[in-house]
Amino acid sequence: MTPASSLRTRPLALTAAALALAVSTAHAQAEPPLQGVLNLSASATAEVPQDWMTVTLSVTRQGTDARVVQTQLKQAVDAALGEARKEARPGQVELQTGSFSIEPRYGQKGQLLGWDGSTQLLIQGRDMPSIAQLSGRISTMTIAGVDYSISREARQKVADELSSQAVARFRARAADLAKDFGYAGYVVREVNVQTQEHGEPPRPRMYAAAAMAESAKALPVEAGKGTVSVSVSGSVQMK
């Protein structure tokens, strides 16, 4: 195709595109608004024992030399890990190092006074008695918090069961409402399924105080229960 013919073709292409857009817009404007569309939701909830325990151990050090503070933190964590690794078992007692920070400390006149360092170690798993006893034996770090939750496997199992219940309730509610509005049935247009977990409020301060008073004793364990809920929301076209 010559340059001249290419120039002649472009206005035709633009005209065709503009015409198609105009037809599409006119068609959209001509379509009547949807009628008989119903928005609704349904949910299912179950109370589940919290089978996962997480103990957060922490240690802080201060000094005028950042390297010395870093070494002290490392020694404290290494000693804790050495004790914790004796009990480590996948899924039952798992270890994870947490945050590590060293920050400067300044005086009122802006002069450098020293360095503040802190680090954490997390001990978590399903074997709560072992985790509690282990936390009490570690002397180089203190207990900063205790948290309970539902394990991923337990949550997924319950969520699968609740999803079926929530969907069944969604369908039953859609059928009842469609009938109430004088329709024979419905067709699902769109649907959204969400899973949520809610646990009991943690009590880390009480446990930390008890553990620090007598570090050789096991940490008190009171997991409690949490809730898992599945909600189904969406819209249906009544027919």
Pair of tokens at residue 185: 């049935």
Give percent of the chain above pLDDT 90. Answer: 72
- Does pLDDT of 13 surpass 50? no
- Does pLDDT of 167 surpass 50? yes
CA distance 125 to 97: 14
Q: What share of the chain is helix, strand, coil (3-state, %, to 5)?
A: 40, 35, 25
N- to C-terminal Cα distance for the chain? 55
Pair of tokens at residue 152: 């991923």
Query: Are 165 and 44 a contacting pair, CB within 8 Å?
Result: yes
Residues forming beta bridges with residue 101, ordered by sequence position:
118
Which of 58, 51, 48 has its CA nearest to residue 212?
Answer: 58
**33-51+150-239 CATH, one of 3.30.110.170, 3.40.30.10, 1.10.3720.10, 3.40.50.620:** 3.30.110.170
pLDDT at 197: 81
Least confident of 26-35, 53-62, 163-172, 210-219: 210-219
- Does pLDDT of 63 surpass 90? yes
Q: Report CA 157 to chain centroid distance, whole Å.
A: 17
pLDDT at 36: 87
Assigned architecture for domain 52-149: 2-Layer Sandwich (3.30)
pLDDT digits (tens, 9 = 90+) for 105-141: 999 999 999 999 999 999 999 999 999 999 999 999 9
Provide CATH 3.30.110.170 ranges for the chain.
33-51+150-239
Q: What kind and span of H or E run contains 170? A: helix 152-180
**Burial status of residue 87 (CB atoms within 10 A of its CB: 0-12, 13-18, 19 or more):** middle
In this prediction, residue 32 has a pLDDT band, given cuts at 50, 70 and 90, of low
Q: What kind and span of H or E run contains 157? A: helix 152-180
CA distance 238 to 103: 63
In this prediction, residue 19 has a pLDDT band, given cuts at 50, 70 and 90, of very low
pLDDT at 141: 96
Give percent of the chain above pLDDT 70. Answer: 77
In this prediction, residue 142 has a pLDDT band, given cuts at 50, 70 and 90, of very high
- Does pLDDT of 57 surpass 90? yes
**Dihedral sign, Cα of residue 149, residue 153, residue 156, residue 157:** negative
- Does pLDDT of 203 surpass 70? no
Provide CATH 3.30.70.2970 ranges for the chain.
52-149
Q: How confident is the prediction for the chain on average, in pLDDT?
A: 83
Which of 101, 143, 136, 96 has its CA nearest to residue 119?
Answer: 101
